Amino acid sequence: MAHLGGLSMLQLPGGADGPRTSRITDPSRQVIVRRRLVAAPGNTPVQFRVSYVPAELAEGTPVAQSAAIPDAWPAALTTYLGRQVRLASSQVTARHPNHEEAVALALPSDAAVLVREDIYQDRRGSPVDFTRTVWRLRAGLSTVIGTGPGRAGQDLGLSEERAEHVLAGGAGFGLEA
């Protein structure tokens, strides 16, 4: 995978991306927004990730700068924010891309994307990050993936084990690479 020059960083009011980001910070506080676009060989964009971190936690760290962070995101949060983080919640859905996602991934608005939304917390249970990762799906795999126990990937004919691997972010069936 190649990383396109698609990393951007900006600071916004806490509730700028609606109720999801307001879960990580009071809407009156600033958040750092990091966007990252990943491409397959040939520069086809395949993954678009947007992370929101409370500005007071990220200030003065690489998280608040526009340079790429090569570490896995949870490890980077622990290292640069100076606190242990854990995944508090993760939700996976399939849907049509919003305008920003469609533009970033060079998709028509009626294409299908796989979306994972993660919230990380510190040891005290305080939210420190909200990240939305969007992957383009291969043509013909636009069936919505069920979210209940035993349903993940059922509509795509995947075994439950394989579907859980894909939904957990593993490469493979259904993700364009």
Q: Which tens digit of pLDDT belongs to each residue from 84-122?
A: 999 999 999 999 999 999 999 999 999 999 999 999 999
Residue 65 within any structural domain of the chain: yes
Residue 177 within any structural domain of the chain: no
Residue 131 within any structural domain of the chain: yes
Instruction: Look at residue 153 in the predicted model and tell me its pLDDT.
Output: 39
Cβ partners under 8 Å of residue 121, min gap 6 = 85, 86, 88, 127, 128
* Residue (of 12, 59, 56) closest to 35 by Cα position: 12
Q: What is the mean pLDDT of residues 164-177?
A: 40
Token reading at 47: 């993954």
15: domain CATH number? 3.40.1410.10
39-79 pLDDT, tens digit per residue, is 888 888 999 999 999 888 998 999 988 888 888 999 999 99
Q: Which residue has the higher pLDDT, 73 or 144?
A: 73
Give the chain's domain count.
1
Residue 174 within any structural domain of the chain: no
Instruction: Look at residue 23 in the predicted model and tell me its pLDDT.
Output: 60
Candidate from 64-73, 105-114, 132-141, 150-159 with smallest mean pLDDT: 150-159
Q: Which residue has the higher pLDDT, 158 or 17?
A: 17
Helical segments of 48-172, H only: 55-58, 73-81, 99-104, 160-167
Residue range of the domain that includes 154 = 2-167
Q: Which residue has the higher pLDDT, 86 or 168?
A: 86
Instruction: Look at residue 8 in the predicted model and tell me its pLDDT.
Output: 54
Residue 6 within any structural domain of the chain: yes
**Burial class of residue 48, CB neighbours in 10 A (0-12, 13-18, 19+):** buried
| Dihedral sign (CA 64, 16, 49, 47) | negative
Instruction: Look at residue 160 in the predicted model and tell me its pLDDT.
Output: 45
> Against a cut of 0.85, is the pTM above it?
no
Q: Residues, the chain, total? A: 177
Residue 98 within any structural domain of the chain: yes
Q: Which residue has the higher pLDDT, 155 or 114?
A: 114
Residue 64 within any structural domain of the chain: yes
* Residue (of 119, 39, 111) closest to 73 by Cα position: 119
DSSP state, 144? P
Residue 29 within any structural domain of the chain: yes
